């Protein structure tokens, strides 16, 4: 990759119009592509396994070798906490410093986002075909106000959520680490599961229950005699051995109850009249079964603001590469970052 001090000194127009690299770095795999003018360039998308690379600089170089080097910079969405141009991955032993990465790769500019922030920036650009409505607003609900807040909830190797607020200057998507909050509990079986998590790990967090490993934790709690990984649980839901399917359905019912607890709590904090959007590999795998597992009853719980919760639609983002679009669109609004 190549960049120069002259590149670093150019204005935001070059940042917006030049060729950039966008990347979604997850806990297990990463997706990378080239983009220009807020749009992904066809034929440049690559998916790579993180375990094959010692760090993010090697990952970016591997993509450049296949598709050419960007000139204007890069925007990386990472599954972890991002602060002051630095990111620490939650489920990957990588630490990313935007300034150091710019120096390592020769790129003039690097921007870092939490991956849920990138998903939030993508929402306005997603076509209808990339969204599947899981729950409609209750009959008689008013239409959402123009520019109403939205909420993106990511369920994959980890868990996180991000609120999206539209402004005349572009969307504001504050960072969050919702997966590390305490797990909301309502029923005795949920409390018993939380005790199980505390005995195993000392903490009953949202992520330890509502992620791929979280689903495995639930299954292990309910069926210690038949432990299974998340992929095996999904396969059992799809058919096969009746006993295995019955175990998987029981695990999914507890999962759906806890998911409804978590989402409704977040909805009451952010008031996302524009909708709640589930994203991530686990969300897509489990979406066909969540209604039958009781998600709606848990999400639209009774209480003083039950009517408000029933007005909020729930969608599934089916585009696995939405975070890349979000990275590209983020740079349409963000001023350039230059090397320190």
Fold of 5-121+322-333: Nucleotidyltransferase; domain 5 (3.30.420)
Of 64, 91, 232, the C-alpha closest to 154 is 91
pLDDT at 16 over 80: no
CA distances from 33 to 50, 64, 272 (A): 15, 9, 30
CA distances from 279 to 192, 212, 234, 283 (A): 28, 13, 17, 6
Contacts of 143 (CB under 8 A, 6+ apart): none
CB 337 within 8 A of CB 72: no
pLDDT tens for 136-195 read 999 999 998 888 999 999 999 889 999 999 988 888 999 999 999 999 999 999 999 999
Of 4, 219, 242, 240, the C-alpha closest to 103 is 4
> Percentage of the chain surpassing pLDDT 70?
93
Q: What is the mean pLDDT of the chain?
A: 89
pLDDT at 6 over 60: no
Name the residue with higher pLDDT: 17 or 116: 116
Residue with tokens 């539209």: 166
The correct answer on CATH 3.90.180.10 for the domain covering 127-317 is no
Name the residue with higher pLDDT: 169 or 56: 56
pLDDT at 13: 43
Sign, CA dihedral 139-144-148-152, equals positive
pLDDT band at residue 15 under the 50/70/90 scheme: low
Query: What DSSP state is assigned to residue 182?
Result: B
Contacts of 23 (CB under 8 A, 6+ apart): 30, 31, 32, 33, 56, 59, 60, 63, 74, 75, 76, 77, 324, 327
Whole-structure pTM value: 0.89
Task: Report the DSSP beta bridge partners of residue 89.
Answer: 80
254: part of which helix (H) or strand (E)? Answer: helix 242-270
Q: Encoding tokens for residue 335?
A: 């001023």
CB atoms within 10 A of CB 258: 25
The count of C-alpha atoms lying within 13 angstroms of the C-alpha of 197, restricted to the half-sphere facing its C-beta, is 24
CA distances from 244 to 219, 222, 237, 239, 289 (A): 11, 12, 8, 9, 15
Sketch the domain layout of the chain as residue ranges.
5-121+322-333, 127-317
CA distances from 234 to 113, 222, 247, 280, 301 (A): 30, 16, 11, 15, 26
Of 326, 234, 334, the C-alpha closest to 277 is 326
């Amino acid at each position: 990759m190549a960049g120069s001090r002259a590149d670093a000194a150019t204005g935001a127009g070059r940042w917006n119009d030049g060729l950039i690299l966008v990347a979604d770095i997850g806990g297990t795999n990463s997706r990378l592509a080239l983009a220009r003018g807020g749009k992904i360039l066809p034929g440049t998308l690559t998916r790579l396994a993180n375990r094959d690379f010692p760090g993010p600089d090697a990952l970016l170089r591997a993509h450049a070798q296949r598709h050419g080097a960007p000139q204007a910079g890069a925007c990386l969405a990472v599954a972890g906490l991002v602060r002051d141009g630095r990111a620490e991955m939650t489920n990957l032993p990588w630490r990313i410093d935007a300034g150091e990465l710019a120096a390592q790769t020769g790129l003039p500019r690097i921007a870092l986002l939490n991956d849920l922030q990138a998903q939030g920036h993508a929402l306005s650009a997603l076509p209808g075909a990339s969204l599947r409505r899981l729950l409609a607003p209750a009959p008689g609900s008013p239409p959402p106000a123009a520019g109403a807040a939205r909420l993106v909830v990511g369920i994959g190797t980890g868990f996180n959520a991000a609120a999206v607020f539209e402004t005349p200057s572009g969307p504001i998507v504050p960072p969050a680490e919702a997966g590390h909050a305490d797990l909301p509990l309502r029923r005795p079986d949920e409390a018993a599961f939380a005790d199980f998590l505390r005995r195993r790990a000392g903490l009953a967090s949202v992520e330890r229950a509502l992620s791929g490993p979280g689903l495995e934790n639930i299954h292990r709690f309910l069926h210690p005699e038949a432990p299974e990984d998340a992929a095996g649980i999904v396969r059992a839901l799809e058919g096969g051995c009746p006993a295995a399917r019955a175990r998987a359905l029981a695990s999914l019912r507890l999962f759906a109850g806890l998911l409804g607890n978590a989402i409704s709590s977040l909805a009451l904090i952010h008031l996302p009249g524009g909708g709640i959007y589930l994203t991530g590999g686990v969300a897509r795998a489990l979406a066909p079964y969540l209604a039958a597992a009781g998600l709606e009853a848990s999400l639209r719980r009774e209480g003083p603001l039950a009517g408000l919760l029933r007005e909020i639609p729930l969608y599934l983002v089916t585009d696995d590469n939405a975070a890349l679009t979000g990275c590209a669109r983020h740079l349409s609004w963000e001023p350039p970052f230059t090397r320190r």
